[in-house]
Amino acid sequence: MRCLVTGGAGFIGSHLVERLLRDGHDVVVVDDLSTGRLENLASVRGDPRVTFVRASVADLDAIRPAFEGVERVFHLAALADIVPSIQRPLDYHRANVDGTAAVLEASRAAGVKRLVYAASSSCYGLPDVFPTPESAPARPQYPYALTKWVGEQYALHWGQVYGLEVVSTRFFNVYGPRSRTSGAYGAVFGVFLRQKLAGQPFTVVGDGTQTRDFTFVTDVADAVATAGEGAPPQTVLNVGSGGTYAVNRLVALLGGDVVHIPKRPGEPDCTLADVTRIRTVLGWEAKVSFEEGVAVMLRNIEAWRDAPLWTPDSIATATREWFACLGGAGGAA
């Protein structure tokens, strides 16, 4: 069938495009290339089943024609990162909320049958329960988390009012090839691999005992594609590995020296998805182990050679910026 992927030139989106093509679908990619890169789609260049439309999802008139004849929409386009969202909240609202509303309206007008929304586990903030289920209260701690959660509510509401089949997938700590190589706040793999290439020590926040539900990108693409096939409408699903791994374990697997920087206020000590629902509803579970995933990243380390180098000094500066944005307390997860 004909599928449309917003943000399809991005990190996760490009892997999803590859997966949908393997499944035999035609794919329309809508991306304004503000954060995505055409290089991420190099493996599908020249494939006659792929159509690329350069446009912002917030521009309804620009994107509307791309939805003609589309049966499934996978909405991944968004602005990410914590500190920039605190500094530029209206930009994030336009991209993540207005953009989602425009995608929903374009889908409704075109008679799209199903929409899968890429939500964020950051909506849980600092959860009380681990593993964290979908029923945990939303406690967004900063504009990025808020706008992604509001976008999810828009999508579910459009489904309720207009009959669009909506499935929301909440991602936990996605990593893998093509992940971002710049930014000091979230892309820990990119930061660490660039530091390893340069012979710099790894900049570990706090004592490194904090744990994350690192989930490999091909597993996430598989979950999203599977949600497009069979999840019941109006369902919210955690997408995580179901495991949690210490930053110190990551450093040990990568191999190298370490310097420690102050722990950032509001960051959780743990993220861990309760994946019971997605396992029950879709029969899905992550296949790539943490050790296997890190090995893949190391085999692809050359992709980080020309990326901006985050030194201990530059990350310390970024950390001070974090504290300044949050007023020294509360705020980021």
Q: Which residues have a catalytic role annotated?
A: 144
Among residues 43, 34, 40, the alpha carbon closest in space to that of 9 is found at 40
Q: Please, which residues have CB within 8 angstroms of residue 322's CB and are 6 or more apart in sequence?
A: 82, 83, 185, 264, 265, 332
Contact 212, 267 (CB under 8 A): no
- The Cα 118–Cα 269 span in angstroms is 24
CA 310 to each of CA 69, 265, 304: distance values in angstroms, whole numbers, following the listed order: 45, 20, 12
CA 185 to each of CA 144, 226, 263: distance values in angstroms, whole numbers, following the listed order: 12, 30, 12
Phi, psi torsion values for 317, nearest 5 degrees: -65, -45
Phi, psi torsion values for 47, nearest 5 degrees: -70, 120
Residues in the chain: 333
Contact 140, 93 (CB under 8 A): no
CA 56 to each of CA 98, 192, 202, 323: distance values in angstroms, whole numbers, following the listed order: 11, 31, 36, 31
- The Cα 236–Cα 323 span in angstroms is 33
- Largest alpha-carbon pair distance within the chain? 55
- The Cα 271–Cα 124 span in angstroms is 10
- The Cα 333–Cα 330 span in angstroms is 9
DSSP label at 98? I
